[in-house]
Chain A
Amino acid sequence: MSQLSTKHLLGIKNITENDVQLILDTAANFKEVINRPIKKVPSLRDITIANIFFENSTRTRLSFELAEKRLSADVVNFSSSNSSVKKGETLVDTVNNILSMKVDMVVMRHSSPGAPHFLSRNVKANIVNAGDGTHEHPTQALLDAFSIKEKFGDVAGKKVAIIGDILHSRVALSNIFCLQKLGAEVMVCGPITLLPKYIKSLGVKVELDVKKALQWCDVANVLRIQLERQQIKYFPSLREYSLYYGINKKLLDQLDKEIVIMHPGPINRGVELSSDVADSEHAIILEQVQNGVAVRMAVLYLLAGARN
């Protein structure tokens, strides 16, 4: 198949395994493109894309913008901090106003879970979810899967431990769906207060001891503690979290094998990852960032192609 089964990328949950494989295969082609002397292809030159960010973002936003520009799309950026949203405009009105200026695709980040799903039912444009609250972050999961595939040759059969704040993480949920679709085994690990109650129903292993999780896995995807989403205290202090769940070189040296460390960024150095791990050869964090552009190019290209 050379076409996605959907017009929008709202989450990994509602796309097929074929969709994921097609995106990863196409991303491999785009990775070659972005390593050329001229990193640009004309595929989306007749398309305008609006990046609508209602939440802060550095990596994702830059990555989408670069992906769009390398596909020759016209790009407009919007952030809620300096917009009419502050004056009380609704989401649908804001987006429809942007679309009436002939915008074809919308890349949106929003703090409310389900916001892109709502939008996809109410506006005429392809919607790409760039993170909706604590729900999904599909392109991050796709680029993580792409990075694992690139490192190991295949995702199927690999053991991936997702370590940290699972409760507030959209990356965790999208990663679980994506890795399971591709045939990997997934484990989540973190303090019990940061593991959602439903998590076992997703078919993942649950481990509270980070040493056991590291010993089990081939890849550890380490997540940030999302203090901005925590209204109550889930653990006594960051220092204590770091003591029990922080990953450092000493911990990795105790394992009888080498594992790959991933992190979706931004890293809180000294909390979930120590610098000697984040900067070591075990970490593929910067490869993930590079792959992010290729994966997002693939998503935008395939969604644009699926339009008619």
Chain B
Amino acid sequence: MQKRLVLDEGQIAITLRRFCHQLIENHDDFENTVLLGLQPRGTLLVDKIVSLLQEISGVKVPSGYLDATFHRDDFRRRDLPLKANETKIDFLVEGKKVILVDDVLYKGRSVRAAMDAMIAFGRPQKVELMVLVDRKLTRDYPIMPDYFGVRINTLESQYVIVEWKEQGHGKDAIWITEKDKS
């Protein structure tokens, strides 16, 4: 299977650091800001951002995990239903500035479902979107990220895979691969 490297470990580290500085610019002391990692793949990323932010600015920003499985618009339309994951949010988002965090932005449907799911926890003052990879020109919904690591051209026949050391991979890396045709 053909694999093409998009970002290597060093570049990902630089990107995460840049994210933190952008957040500090926009959110100052994070008094009213919370971070939500989208299940299943945004949760590790949000944990990394939270600990890096604490290292840089000394502030521990409240964070949680949001699962949008029950809010998806493809339920009963795809072959296999998705398995739900844990939603872990021990605060209300009412009046808060929420930053949704995910690894890859593709069709925009997950983010739409996530915003729907988020509303169950209150009416946020503002919502922003942070993604490591923005797959250009593939959107089904009018959704654009406020913060992105890299913006790339991809085909429908390709996957973007984000690998983390914590998940048993040798190095952090982002790849483009061809979908298995079998």
Residues of A in contact with B (beta carbons under 8 Å apart): 2-3, 22, 25-26, 28-30, 32-33, 36-43, 46, 71, 301-302, 304-308
Partner of A26 from the list B76, B84, B119 (CB cut-off 8 Å) is B84
B67 within 8 A of A: yes
Chain B residues within an 8 Å CB radius of A33: 70, 87, 120
Within the complex, what minimum Cβ distance (angstroms) separates A43 from chain B?
5
B95 within 8 A of A: no
Q: A29-B69, A29-B87, A43-B75 are in contact. Are A302 and B121 (CB under 8 A)?
A: no
B86→A29 contact, CB < 8 A = yes
A42→B116 contact, CB < 8 A = yes
Chain A residues within an 8 Å CB radius of B67: 29
In the docked arrangement, what's the CA distance between A93 and B79, Å?
A: 32
Chain B residues within an 8 Å CB radius of A71: 70
Within the complex, what minimum Cβ distance (angstroms) separates B141 from chain A?
16
In the docked arrangement, what's the CA distance between A22 and B83, Å?
A: 9
B84→A29 contact, CB < 8 A = yes
Given A29-B70, A302-B81, 5 further pairs, Cβ under 8 A: A26-B83, A30-B70, A36-B120, A41-B71, A305-B81
Within the complex, what minimum Cβ distance (angstroms) separates B23 from chain A?
27
In the docked arrangement, what's the CA distance between A264 and B87, Å?
A: 29
In the docked arrangement, what's the CA distance between A119 and B43, Å?
A: 44
Chain A residues within an 8 Å CB radius of B14: none
Q: Which residue of A lies closest to B68 (CB)?
A: A41
B76→A304 contact, CB < 8 A = yes
In the docked arrangement, what's the CA distance between A298 and B19, Å?
A: 38
Partner of A37 from the list B71, B82, B117, B121 (CB cut-off 8 Å) is B121
In the docked arrangement, what's the CA distance between A285 and B178, Å?
A: 53
Q: A29-B69, A29-B87 are in contact. Are A2 and B120 (CB under 8 A)?
A: no
In the docked arrangement, what's the CA distance between A71 and B70, Å?
A: 9
Within the complex, what minimum Cβ distance (angstroms) separates B114 from chain A?
13
Partner of B81 from the list A36, A37, A39, A306 (CB cut-off 8 Å) is A306
Rank and list the top 5 A-B pairs by shortest CB-CB distance, nearest first: A305-B81, A41-B70, A2-B83, A38-B120, A29-B84
Q: List 24 A-B contacts (CB under 8 A).
A: A2-B80, A3-B81, A25-B83, A29-B67, A29-B69, A29-B84, A29-B87, A32-B86, A32-B87, A33-B70, A37-B121, A37-B122, A41-B70, A42-B71, A42-B116, A43-B70, A43-B75, A46-B76, A305-B75, A305-B76, A305-B81, A306-B81, A307-B76, A308-B79
A38→B119 contact, CB < 8 A = yes
Chain A residues within an 8 Å CB radius of B116: 42
B152 within 8 A of A: no
Chain A residues within an 8 Å CB radius of B69: 29
Q: Which residue of B lies closest to A4 (CB)?
A: B81
Q: Which residue of B lies closest to A47 (CB)?
A: B76
In the docked arrangement, what's the CA distance between A38 and B83, Å?
A: 22
In the docked arrangement, what's the CA distance between A2 and B75, Å?
A: 12
Chain A residues within an 8 Å CB radius of B80: 2-3
Within the complex, what minimum Cβ distance (angstroms) separates A296 from chain B?
14
Chain B residues within an 8 Å CB radius of A306: 81
Q: Which residue of A lies closest to B119 (CB)?
A: A38
In the docked arrangement, what's the CA distance between A25 and B67, Å?
A: 14
Within the complex, what minimum Cβ distance (angstroms) separates B33 from chain A?
20
Q: A29-B67, A42-B70, A301-B70 are in contact. Are A37 and B85 (CB under 8 A)?
A: no
Chain B residues within an 8 Å CB radius of A38: 119-121
Chain A residues within an 8 Å CB radius of B84: 25-26, 29
A37→B120 contact, CB < 8 A = yes
In the docked arrangement, what's the CA distance between A76 and B69, Å?
A: 26
B92 within 8 A of A: yes
